[in-house]
Structure 1
Amino acid sequence: MTEDALVIFTPSGKRGRFPLGTPVLTAARQLGVDLDSVCGGRGICSKCQITPGYGEFPKHGVHVDADALTEWNSVEDRYKQKRGMIDGRRLGCQAKVMGDVVIDVPPESQVHKQVIRKSATERTIAMDPATKLLFVEVQEPDMHEPTGDFERLAIALRDQWQVQDVTADLALMRRLQPALRKGEWKVTVALHKGNQDASSRILDIWPGFHEGPILGLAIDLGSTTIAAHLCDLTDGRVLASSGLMNPQIRFGEDLMSRVSYAMMNPGGDVEMTRAVREAINALSASIAAEANTLPTNVYEVVFVCNPVMHHLLLGIDPVELGQAPFALATSGSLSLDARDLDLTHLNAAARVYILPCIAGHVGADCAAVALSEEPNKSDDMVLIVDVGTNAEILLGNKTRVLACSSPTGPAFEGAQISSGQRAAPGAIERVHIDPITKEPRFRVIGSELWSDDPEFAAATATTGITGICGSGIIEAVAEMRMAGLVDARGLIGSAEQTGTERSVPEGRTHSYMLHDGSADGGPRIMVTQGDIRAIQLAKSALYAGARLLMDEMGVDHVDRVTLAGAFGAHISPKHAMVLGMIPDAPLEKVTSAGNAAGTGARIALCSAAARSQIEKTVHDIHKVETAIEPRFQEHFVNANAIPHAVDPFPELGLIVTLPDVSFNTASGGGDSNRRRRRG
């Protein structure tokens, strides 16, 4: 029997081996995992709640037995009885490690709360919501013309609002007569207009004239984060935007690892469905509170999501999406009752609309990006990249649009990075390295000051400097390349080769010391050779997907590039191009669309006409399957170089000259066999 066990924390991805009997809280502290505790581990504050995962975790290469943690104890039982605790959670100070285990740290247990950077993008939307408030005057009952109250309400809607066919559920029927009589035969109804030939449905009714509120939720259900916009359905105003981590991360950080979890754990898909629905309920309650309203004022929800999230939201086993031909259970748009998805916090009659998917691995989120950015109406050749754990890519113009999905993994989100963390106060998000002195300066989330500013220490005293997030690691690696600390193959040079003591030896490789906070009890934030490799793999997948679409389109360059997604909004175009994340283009033609998928969801929420439009558009978008295309691997290998082994970057070369260095460890790290690489 082994004397220690492997402990893996999500969403940070940090892992380590610990002696059996080690409290989870102790393991978290030793690994630098962001797990809160106020009471010092005495089981009083409950800040250290964690959620263990059991079963097969192919992504992490472990099997977690049911007895991987010590049994539920009296301290936990007492806390749950008195204050309540979500089923399946444990207290990190009480649960002890007894075997290999995967442990998720939920957002509320993190000291540095995640910043879900998916705020609403300003957009003018022609209002045509599927759910509207209509005021009607209903004919009073007449003994000589015996018709029911509902039938006369339907006639009034037809005559006054040209609504031809209406239905209502039994719950509304029970409230119909009191409302009509209290309003003296004048009522306001919340009417949901059905798609195409479908009948309209009365969702709610009020006596007399009622102004609302009548609200809707536009939700971008991503594999890493869930972002929501609460909108007023009368004028489209965004009342609040909020988000949280997708709790499915504990089952796997990328989509295929979640499919594998469902394959290898009977009932695993049900477990993941339950987790995400509970999270959406919690998010709907919190975003309503932020807007000082009630979630029961929400009458409609629009979802956009990738195919795996789509199936898991609906409660459909995603196993078929894990193998060719990657068949979807359904690809069309869906209209459902919110209660079908266990969304119990909303109005009892709330409706759900899910945008159509484009194909097996290109989902409703990509359709939402197409609705928002309209590449099918573009005169020039535009490449739209929604950067995330799974990147969706669109290429085209008014003559033709192509789409693909590329598995970039979680490195761009700060996961699988040695000092990586999610975007939270204290995380390094911007980096600049002096090419002469090799000294860095940086900015952290929560402060506008750079680290060489005299006021920086005071400004960051509360948050500290805790790690590096996705945009930070991208800028760090690109800056290291521009400063001659990293060569075209991604190798970090030694102190002798680079001329700086910040190049620190680690085994047979080197790391770059970005920040050393150890003197004050803080972390040493390094960029390691493993970090460089993780970024190379992620950016190569992204570039290869774009290049594959360009091959299919028969073009060698694009006129402009749009970076979509909340993460894309925080990427520096220059640094992205130095890395070779995106094809060469004039930098002024590389722009951010913000959270385009979320914007597409808002458009669909506020416009029934837009729903009809995207339902037609997806049939005209041609999907290219990267998983079975032989050229994808060739493009992937060539894209491993920084910026690229073969493709020229003439536009970048006009503003950046990359140092001619080579740190070939196999030949002792000399400068032999150097190749000139121009940006």
Structure 2
Amino acid sequence: MVVVGNPTMIHILIGENPSPLGRYPYIPAFHEAKILSAADIGFSLDRVVLQTFPQISGFIGGDILSAALAVDMEHQPEGTLLIDLGTNGELLFKDKKTLFAASCATGPAFEGATLSCGIQAIPGAINKASIINDVDFPEYTTVNFSGSKNIKPCGVCGTGVISSVAELCRHGIIEPSGAFTKKDTIRPLVQDNDNRLKYILLPEDETHDERAISISQQDVRSVQLGKAAIITGIEFLLKAAGYDHPNKIIIAGAFGTFMEMEDMVTLGMIPTIATEQIEIVGNSAGAGAVMALCDNTYLQKAIEMASQVVTIDLTCDIQFQKIFVQKLRFPHFKNDNEPSRVQV
């Protein structure tokens, strides 16, 4: 067996206490790749060996190394940025001779958690929204895996909230600060019981459980926090490597599989580069694990790669929070002259 994951998950898997990862200086109990008996850690598999990838730091694990193997980072052009999207965003940047890595806490919203109507990317989850006008509810698509039954929408997943917020930005329904505009002419924009604005994606009579599916103000704030963490981490990583912008962006992670590049650029989640320089590759960490399972030389490559990576610790940079707050604003609007009302 070959297992890759972030340091916390790997610690828990093999029975190591993960609590040091939750307090400064966030040092893992081990960095090296582990070779264990699967039976010794609770699997009912006799004579099966379990191998894990090495860990780069307390926040950067073998999953980004596995993804790097899958996308053949070694032969990618200089200036390539690999982004592994999830609750924790892991970044890997390649210059002429060195790999630079950083981690940023994007938060659980990108995977559907903590959202007012959030669910995982299961059948019935809204994964894309398109606003037509100010009167009608938006058009949408839902997750519908092969062989799954067609069901009415039952919530919105991470890609759905990203798509929805990007559309709200493009149509001026959200201000640069992230606040909803107060326009009586926008029919789907209503007040909840606490007089807070929310945007209705789908009314209750069209949903699976007869409850309206909406994007709340807090949902928008969650997206702001996540996208600000990613773009700030990217900029600090580029600065450490001596670059102004990446020459190529590879977006990995199961969450990133169905992301629209235009939505990410609209929200200011990634640097603005030509779309042909952006590649979405899906669950590359899983693909890299399969490669290592089939050919042990890939695990050896991961071990060698981990020893060469230069880690950029964003938690120790006093400028990170300042830039992070600046990046909370959404960049692309019809009118970007209003002052920010974001509260952190």
Amino acid at match of 1:315: G
Instruction: Tell me by how many angstroms 1:517 deviates.
Output: 2.1
1:428/1:442 contact within 8 Å kept = yes
CA distance in 2, matches of 1:432, 1:447: 21
Shift of 1:640: 0.2
Match of 1:660 among 327, 335, 338: 335
2:60 aligned partner: 362
User: What is residue 284 of structure 2 aligned with on the other side?
Assistant: 596
Deviations 1:107-138 (A, max 9, x none): xxxxxxxxxxxxxxxxxxxxxxxxxxxxxxxx
Per-residue CA deviations over 1:24-61 (Å, capped at 9, x if unaligned) read xxxxxxxxxxxxxxxxxxxxxxxxxxxxxxxxxxxxxx
Q: Which residue pairs with 1:533 in the alignment?
A: 221
Q: Which residue of 1 aligns with 2:81?
A: 383
Taking structure 1 as reference, are residues 354 and 404 closer, same or farther at Cα in structure 2, changes over 3 Å only?
same
Find the aligned partners of 2:99 and 2:339 in 1 and give their Cα distance.
42
* 1:168-223 CA-partner distances (Å, limit 9, x unpaired): xxxxxxxxxxxxxxxxxxxxxxxxxxxxxxxxxxxxxxxxxxxxxxxxxxxxxxxx
Residue 607 (1) aligns with residue 295 (2): yes
Q: Report what 1:162 is aligned to.
A: none
State whether residues 491 and 664 of structure 1, in contact with CA within 8 Å, keep that contact through their aligned partners in structure 2: no
| 1:618 CA drift (Å) | 1.1
Matches of residues 459-478 of structure 1 in structure 2 within 5 Å? 462-478=150-166
CA drift of 1:306 comes to 0.8
How far is the alpha carbon of 1:505 from its aligned partner? 2.5
Question: Does structure 1 retain, via aligned residues, the 8 Å contact 2:177–2:340?
Answer: no
Return the offset for 1:658: 3.1
Aligned counterpart, 1:393: 91
TM-score, length of structure 2 as denominator length:
0.92
Q: State whether structure 2 residue 203 is matched by structure 1 residue 516.
A: yes
Whether 1:502 aligns to 2:188 is yes
In structure 1, give the amino acid aligned to 2:31.
Answer: S
Deviation at 1:662, TM superposition (A): 6.9
Q: CA deviation at 1:574?
A: 0.4
Cα contact 2:177–2:329 (8 A) shared by 1: yes
The answer (yes or no) to whether the contact 2:248–2:277 under 8 Å persists in 1 is: yes
Deviation at 1:388, TM superposition (A): 0.4
Query: What code does the residue aligned with 1:513 have?
Result: I
Equivalent residue for 1:343? Answer: 43
- After superposition, the CA RMSD in angstroms is 2.2
Tell me the percent identity: 30
Give the whole-Å Cα distance in 2 for the aligned partners of 1:612 and 1:664: 52
Q: Distance in 2 between matches of 1:432 and 1:391?
A: 26
Deviations 1:430-485 (A, max 9, x none): 1111256564100111289xxxxxxxxxxx99511111111000000000000111
| Paired residues of 2:124 and 2:142 also in contact (CA < 8 A) | yes
- Alpha carbons of 1:425 and 1:407: their partners in 2 closer, same or farther (altered >3 Å)? same
Amino acid aligned to 2:143: I
Helix, strand or coil for the counterpart of 2:4? Answer: strand
The answer to whether residue 96 in structure 2 is matched with residue 409 in structure 1 is no
2:234 and 2:338 mapped to 1: Cα distance? Answer: 29
Q: Please report how far the alpha carbon of residue 411 of structure 1 lies from its aligned counterpart in structure 2 after TM superposition.
A: 0.3
| C-alpha separation in 2, matches of 1:398 and 1:468 | 41
Report if the CA contact (8 A) 2:82-2:91 is conserved.
yes
Q: Tell me the equivalent position of 1:634.
A: 322
CA distance in 1, matches of 2:50, 2:84: 24
Q: Which structure has the higher relative contact order (CA within 8 Å, separation 6+)?
A: 2
Amino acid at match of 2:198: S
Do the aligned partners of 1:421 and 1:467 also contact (CA within 8 Å) in 2?
yes
- Please give the alpha-carbon distance, in whole angstroms, between the structure 1 residues aligned to 2:115 and 2:322: 26
Distance in 1 between residues matched to 2:283 and 2:143, nearest whole Å: 19
CA offsets, 1:356-390, max 9 Å, x none?
A: 11122111112212222233432231111111011
The residue number in structure 2 matching 1:323 is 23
Q: For each residue in 1:118-173, what CA deviation from the matched residue of structure 2 results, as whole angstroms up to 9, or x when unmatched? A: xxxxxxxxxxxxxxxxxxxxxxxxxxxxxxxxxxxxxxxxxxxxxxxxxxxxxxxx
For residues 429 and 551 of structure 1, what CA distance do their matches in structure 2 show?
34
Asked if 1:441 is matched to 2:144, the reply is no
User: What letter corresponds to residue 70 of structure 2 in structure 1?
Assistant: S
- Distance, in Å, in 1 between the alignment partners of 2:249 and 2:290 is 23
**CA-CA distance at 1:426 after TM superposition:** 1.1
User: Equivalent residue for 2:33?
Assistant: 333
User: Contact (CA 8 Å) 2:134, 2:186: kept in 1 or not?
Assistant: no
Q: How far off is 1:398 after superposition? A: 4.0
Task: Please name the residue that 2:7 is paired with.
Answer: 307
Alpha-carbon displacement from aligned partner over 1:63-88 (angstroms, at most 9, x marks no partner): xxxxxxxxxxxxxxxxxxxxxxxxxx
Q: For 2:230 and 2:266, how far apart are their aligned partners in 1? A: 14
State the partner residue of 1:430.
128
- The 8 Å contact of residues 375 and 397 in structure 1, kept in 2 or not, is answered as no
**8 Å Cα contact 2:137-2:202 kept in structure 1:** no
**Across the two proteins, how many residue pairs are aligned to each other?**
338
Task: Write the distance in 1 (CA, Å) between the matches of 2:43 and 2:145.
Answer: 37
Contact 2:2 2:50 in 1 (8 A): yes
> Which of 168, 179, 193 is 1:491 aligned to?
179
Indicate if the aligned counterparts of 1:405 and 1:626 stay in contact, CA closer than 8 A.
Answer: yes
Whether 1:561 aligns to 2:257 is: no
Matching residue of 1:481: 169
Distance 1:438 1:553, change over 3 A: farther
Deviation at 1:325, TM superposition (A): 2.2
Instruction: Tell me if structure 2 keeps the 8 A contact 1:358–1:366.
Output: no
CA distance in 2, matches of 1:621, 1:593: 22
Q: For residues 314-337 of structure 1, what are the alpha-carbon distances to aligned partners after superposition, in whole Å with 9 as ceiling and x for unaligned?
A: 111112112222222211111111
Consecutive unaligned residues of structure 1, counting only runs of 5 or more, are: 1-300, 449-459, 644-656, 667-679
Distance 1:442 1:361 in 2: 36
1:404, 1:355 → 2: CA distance? 17
* 3-state SS of paired residue (1:305): coil
Judged with a 3 Å threshold, the aligned counterparts in structure 2 of structure 1 residues 447 and 303 are, in CA distance, closer, same or farther, namely closer
Larger Rg: 1
Distance 1:503 1:336, change over 3 A: same
SS of the residue corresponding to residue 404 of structure 1 reads strand
1:580 is aligned to: 268
Once the two structures are superposed, residues 534-584 of structure 1 have per-residue CA deviations (whole angstroms, 9 ceiling, x without a partner) of 110111111111111011112111111111011111111100111111111
1-side partners of 2:161 and 2:248: how far apart? 24
CA distance in 2 between partners of 1:357 and 1:435 (Å): 49
Letter in 2 for 1:373: V
Q: Distance in 2 between matches of 1:531 and 1:440?
A: 17
CA deviations on 1:475-518 (whole Å, 9 max, x unpaired) are 0000000011111111111233xx31221124454211111024
